[in-house]
Amino acid sequence: MNSRPRQLALVLDHAESYAREDFFSGPCNESALRLIDCWPDWPANAIALVGPEGSGKTHLAMIWASAAGARVISGHALATAEIPTALATGALIVEDAAAAADERALFHLINLAREENAYLLFTARPAPATWPAAIPDLVSRLRALPLATLAAPDDATLRAVIVKLAADRQLNLDEAVVGYLSTHIERSFAAARAAVVALDNEALRLRRPATRALAAEIFRDSSFLR
């Protein structure tokens, strides 16, 4: 067990793909995906993607960024950002928008986007109506934002994700392994990807097949456990 931290650290070096074909659609996110795919026919020029960590918000945002030529900024960076420059391409993603400390900058951004017919995509865990804001007009604008809500993946989607990720690495997992992983990792796409990478790396290192027994050895005391 002493080598486990070193094995799991390998996961951090695995690049995550944000390509459209690598997004796993299911009941937990299909309405959000439809909204992203229907751009520019959005119900408003600004929308919000909300959901728990690992639910796919950033992946969907990057799919839209590729389609719309959007720039990306964090909510924390709004306070020092040149708002007109940030909107230069006509499309902007604000990641973790609920953390925007400068509500005047956020208010200015929303107003300027309206004036310039630019598009905004906000990502956050909580819904915009709960974001900290004291400016009355900003509060009303946040409450009016159309929402695309993502949930943690359901069991069927999580299993399908694990199978697909394993296949991409030429790793054949039987039902016992898939079932073990789906019930012992955090219910998120990010955790599924990290678990498959960790299992593959350990199987290669030990020159053992990726069995349920090996999965249990890796994840018994790891942070992937629920």
Write out the DSSP string of 77-93: GGGGS-HHHHTTTSEEE
In this prediction, residue 54 has a pLDDT band, given cuts at 50, 70 and 90, of: confident
Rounded (5°) CA angle 16-18-19: 125
Mean pLDDT of the 1-11 span:
37
SS3 content of the chain, % helix, strand, coil (to 5): 55, 10, 35
In this prediction, residue 24 has a pLDDT band, given cuts at 50, 70 and 90, of: confident
State residue 13's pLDDT score. Answer: 43
Q: What is the pLDDT of residues 100-140, one digit of tens each?
A: 989 999 999 999 999 999 999 999 999 999 999 999 999 99
State residue 222's pLDDT score. Answer: 57
Residue ranges and CATH numbers for the domains of the chain are: 29-149 (3.40.50.300), 153-219 (1.10.8.60)
Q: Which residue has the higher pLDDT, 117 or 10?
A: 117
User: For residue 158, what is the enclosing H or E element?
Assistant: helix 155-168
| The pair of three-digit structure tokens given for residue 80, joined into one six-digit string | 């020092």
